[in-house]
Amino acid sequence: MHVANLKGERRKLGGKENNRIRNRGLIPGVIYGHKEDPEFVSVGVKELRLALDELQHVVSLDIGAGVAQYLIKDVQYDHLNKDPIHIDLMRVDANERVRVRVAVELKGDPHGAHEGGVLTHVMTEIEVECGVMAIPELIEPNVSHLGLNESLHVRDLKLPEGVVALSDPDDVIATVKAHRGVVEAPVVEGEEAAAEPEMIGRVAKTDEPE
């Protein structure tokens, strides 16, 4: 698993300090975990954006006491949900297991889409538990086999070894439903297939024999 490298330094608390570090291309952050006191840091926003774009979960950071690795626990964005403005990092050991949310990206063209169906991506991420150095960047299930009115559930996912899904096994990841206005034709067999067509509208009256 790739680990992104971030530039960082320790910071003081206070709104004026936060404005000062943002003017230097940094954003405030906090490091916590392992029952240790929190550390207040600032990290390079350029490197952080790159790590987030690459869907990285673990970053390497040097704040003056040597390089250490941390789990990205939370990122706060501005009001446009565009630029990161704060980051929470959690201390981790290379051999411990963690719980994280991993993005789900569908692959393939579902068979049901060629039968008038529409593919809906219901869950775009799931929660998993795994080793901190074995976090998958993406989970990419193939939906080519899905027919009309069929779904892919969490229980159907093929996860890497050591990765366990914590989301409900019955949760729907993706589904193929008939497009509105598309009706499946009923299967007609035997005598029903040869039946006369139904007459629509007023039926002509016939005289009864005297």
User: Which one, of 91, 30, 25, lies nearest residue 58 by Cα?
Assistant: 91
* pLDDT for 34 beyond 80: yes
Whether 104 and 123 have beta carbons less than 8 Å apart is answered as yes
Output the average pLDDT for the chain. Answer: 86
pLDDT band at 185 (very low <50, low <70, confident <90, very high): low
Confidence bin at 186 (pLDDT 50/70/90): low
Task: Check if the beta carbon of residue 75 is closer than 8 Å to that of residue 29.
Answer: no
pLDDT at 2: 74
Domains located in the chain, CATH noted: 4-92 (2.40.240.10), 101-178 (2.170.120.20)
For the record, the structure tokens of 132 come out as: 């901190």
Phi, psi of 8 (to 5 degrees): -155, 170
pTM: 0.74
Q: Per-residue pLDDT averaged across 57-86, rounded?
A: 88
* Percent of residues, the chain, with pLDDT higher than 70: 84
Q: Cα separation of 68 and 56, whole Å?
A: 16
* Cα–chain center distance at 168: 14
DSSP one-letter string for 1-59:
---EEEEEEE---SHHHHHHHHHTTEEEEEEEETTEEEEEEEEEHHHHHHHHHTT--EE
Confidence of residue 3 (pLDDT cuts 50, 70, 90): confident
Highest mean pLDDT among 12-21, 32-41, 74-83: 32-41
User: What is the token pair recorded at 20?
Assistant: 């000062």
Q: How confident is the model at residue 205 (pLDDT cuts 50, 70, 90)?
A: very low
- Among residues 116, 136, 101, 128, the alpha carbon closest in space to that of 176 is found at 116
